Amino acid sequence: KAGVTQTPRYLIKTRGQQVTLSCSPISGHRSVSWYQQTPGQGLQFLFEYFSETQRNKGNFPGRFSGRQFSNSRSEMNVSTLELGDSALYLCASSYDREREQFFGPGTRLTVL
């Protein structure tokens, strides 16, 4: 069974631009969560989607948004990029919230 895939793997943007990251979960998994990982803040929860509905949202500004499609694939968007948005963005999928999450390799976003 294929794992969680994330595209692109690396991204360089400038301040003020916007970016869209994509995540394809493991086949059959309906829950997708997104995390931001930085050396200073560690792993911070962004949002969780289940069957196209956002179930939870972390403490991030409205510039961060996401969605999930009917095939469970998910995208997250960051608008008006700031230098502090530079991070590794991780996507994770699970069959349901009682099971373990499986993580993708992440998208490394650098904002210049």
Please, what is the minimum distance in Å from the beta carbon of residue 51 to other proteins? 14
Residue 76 in contact with other proteins, rule: CB under 8 A: no
Residue with tokens 């995390």: 35
**Two tokens, residue 28:** 């059959």
Please, what is the minimum distance in Å from the beta carbon of residue 106 to other proteins? 5
* Whether 18 contacts 11, CB under 8 Å: no
Q: Across-strand partners of 11? A: 109
Q: Across-strand partners of 38? A: 42
Stretch 92-111 residues interacting with other proteins (CB under 8 A): 92, 97-98, 100-106, 108
- Of these, 33, 68, 72, 74, which contacts other proteins (CB under 8 A)? 33
Phi, psi at 84, each rounded to 5°: -70, -5
Q: How far apart are CA 112 and CA 100, in angstroms?
A: 35
- Of these, 19, 26, 36, 48, which contacts other proteins (CB under 8 A)? 48
Residues engaged in binding other proteins (CB under 8 A): 4, 33, 35, 42-43, 45, 48, 55-56, 58, 90, 92, 97-98, 100-106, 108
